[in-house]
């Protein structure tokens, strides 16, 4: 799973929850957008 593979990045994200392969964010203000961008780039790179 991508979330498990990127656990170090996800840990720095901020207020979130995870499901089976899913990342849940209620409000964008609750997370660090720079870390979210890094997580998306890492997921895209595979």
Q: What is the rounded distance in angstroms from the CA atom of residue 1 to the CA atom of residue 21? A: 6
Q: What is the rounded distance in angstroms from the CA atom of residue 37 to the CA atom of residue 23? A: 13
Q: How far is CA 12 from CA 6, 20, 35, in A?
A: 10, 19, 7
pTM, full prediction: 0.82
pLDDT digits (tens, 9 = 90+) for 6-44: 999 999 999 999 988 899 999 999 999 999 999 999 989
């Amino acid at each position: 799973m991508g979330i498990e593979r990127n656990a170090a990045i996800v840990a720095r994200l901020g207020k979130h929850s995870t499901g089976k392969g899913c990342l849940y964010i209620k409000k964008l203000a609750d997370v660090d957008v720079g870390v979210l961008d890094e997580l998306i780039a890492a997921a895209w790179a595979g």
